[in-house]
A and B are shown apart, each in its own frame.
Chain A
Amino acid sequence: MQFNYHSPKSETELAALLNGMEDYCLLAGGTDVMVKMKEKLISPRNLVDVSGIESLKGIRETAGSLWIGPLVTHRELMDSPVMNKKTAALCLAASEVGSPQIRNAGTVGGNIGNASPAADTVPALLALDAKVQLNSANGSENLPLDKVFVGPGRTCLKSGQYIAGIHVSPVAAGEGAAFAKFGKRKALACSIVNGAAWVRVQGGVITAARIALGSVGPTPVRLYETEKWLVGRKPEPAVFAEAGLQAEQSVRPIDDVRCTATHRGKLARVTVQRCLEAATKQAMEVCVCE
């Protein structure tokens, strides 16, 4: 390992530093970057540690939206009272990442930036309609999260861009969200399949839905077709089962050391079915009274 280490203290400094810089890698908690450097999968000439930038930290409630700083750790997310109240599924996803040690260091921004198809917070963020704010010296843009991933380990971020914030929609009354993960063990287990669902139920029918799955393809995916199909249907077991079946048929998973493609397909079905079941249950029960 050999690199120049930079530790900008503000976003302005970061943007200026990255502008025109070649061969760099951002460093947040380092739980992905350090492993990759040790295994010599990457050897960046410049390591830019963003962890000292205050404006990238914290969780804030804004009108109709929740802002999550990219430096928020999985631990902070799972412990956050406001997030637990408004996006419990995301907190659950964060609580399933790695181990307590990994959750204390690893960040949401890093989970997105690493672009692993198995990233645990990503399906939950997708189900919560997350938008990612990308900043650089040349300006700022907001992208839906699923547009950020272009392949395993690859994001659409252009040189000089960094994740400056993540917006998610809080789960309101009449809405519900759920997350589920299958791993080989209960802790320190990369997901074999993970997924999340969000639904809105009005007058006894589903009026809107978002479903996301991870580890079933080169990037995490939204199941737009099934989401559309669900609209207007009753939240009942046969519908969840059919949605699960659609998920199994639409994903293109691979065989790897953790699981066969066939079994992954079945897990995708179960994941979607269970998440929809839990999400609609919450939508029909929970009243967000403040």
Chain B
Amino acid sequence: MSKRMIKFVLNGKPIELEVEPELLFVDLLRERLGLTGTKVGCGEGDCGACTVLVDGKNVNSCLMLAVKADGHDIVTVEGLGDYDKLHPLQEAFIAEGAVQCGFCTPGMLLSAKSLLDVNPHPKREEISRHISGNLCRCTGYTKIVNAIEKVACQGGGEDRE
């Protein structure tokens, strides 16, 4: 049905485009913008593989209409780091063995970032609770929590950037 113009900031860059109202934000990212780092594991809010940050908060992009991105600041895994400069969380995930199949990893990293950005020194329980909307079937979570804790001990995500 009738298309809508939306404007938002994606990984620091302003974006302006026209979308169908029924387009999901995750499909906008993956299919229209080619940003396939955001994954779909369930499509119904249960797994967190599609997690993106909207104004710093972790949300499931599979339950979000693309039109709802209008006016917001959005970060996906592609906005975290690159080959030359990994984000401290990305480094820690690698070093701590928190990545196995990797399908949960982008969402997990973003949930971790959304925690450390407001609470740079969380307790272990706070970390566990904050990633409770991100399912990982491979690691058993311990190493993921270790990785996030490691960054927290080093002074949080942003301080080191």
In the complex, is A directly touching B at CB under 8 Å?
A: yes
Q: Are A35 and B45 in contact (CB under 8 A)?
A: yes
A31 and B1 alpha carbons, distance in the complex (Å): 22
A31 and B54 alpha carbons, distance in the complex (Å): 15
A5 at the interface (CB under 8 A from B): yes
- Within the complex, what minimum Cβ distance (angstroms) separates A6 from chain B? 9
B59 at the interface (CB under 8 A from A): yes
Which residues of A lie under 8 Å from residue B59 when comparing CB positions? 101, 104-105
B133 at the interface (CB under 8 A from A): yes
Q: Restricting to B36-81, which residues have a CB under 8 Å from any CB of A?
A: 43-46, 48, 51, 54, 57-60, 62-65, 67-68
Q: Are B67 and A5 in contact (CB under 8 A)?
A: yes
A245 and B130 alpha carbons, distance in the complex (Å): 36
Q: Are A1 and B22 in contact (CB under 8 A)?
A: yes
A188 and B133 alpha carbons, distance in the complex (Å): 7
Q: List 15 A-B contacts (CB under 8 A).
A: A4-B21, A5-B67, A34-B45, A34-B62, A47-B21, A49-B68, A99-B132, A99-B133, A100-B111, A100-B131, A101-B58, A101-B60, A102-B133, A105-B59, A187-B133
Q: Which of A1, A38, A104 has the most CB of B within 10 A?
A: A104
Which residues of A lie under 8 Å from residue B45 when comparing CB positions? 31, 34-35, 98-99, 101-102
Q: Are A101 and B44 in contact (CB under 8 A)?
A: no
Interface magnitude class on chain B: 20 to 34
Closest residue of chain A to B65 (Cβ to Cβ) is A30
B160 at the interface (CB under 8 A from A): no
Q: Are B67 and A102 in contact (CB under 8 A)?
A: no
* Residue in B1, B51, B65, B129 whose beta carbon sits within 8 Å of that of A101 in the complex: B51
Which residues of A lie under 8 Å from residue B58 when comparing CB positions? 100-101, 104
- What is the interface size of chain A, counting residues whose CB is below 8 A from a CB of the partner? 27
Q: Restricting to B1-37, which residues have a CB under 8 Å from any CB of A?
A: 1-2, 4, 21-22
- Within the complex, what minimum Cβ distance (angstroms) separates A186 from chain B? 7
3 smallest CB-CB distances across A and B, nearest first, come from A99-B133, A5-B21, A187-B132
A167 at the interface (CB under 8 A from B): no
Which residues of A lie under 8 Å from residue B65 when comparing CB positions? 5, 27, 30, 34, 49
- Within the complex, what minimum Cβ distance (angstroms) separates A276 from chain B? 27
Q: Restricting to A40-80, which residues have a CB under 8 Å from any CB of B?
A: 47, 49, 51, 75
* Residue in B1, B60, B131 whose beta carbon sits within 8 Å of that of A4 in the complex: B1
Closest residue of chain A to B22 (Cβ to Cβ) is A1
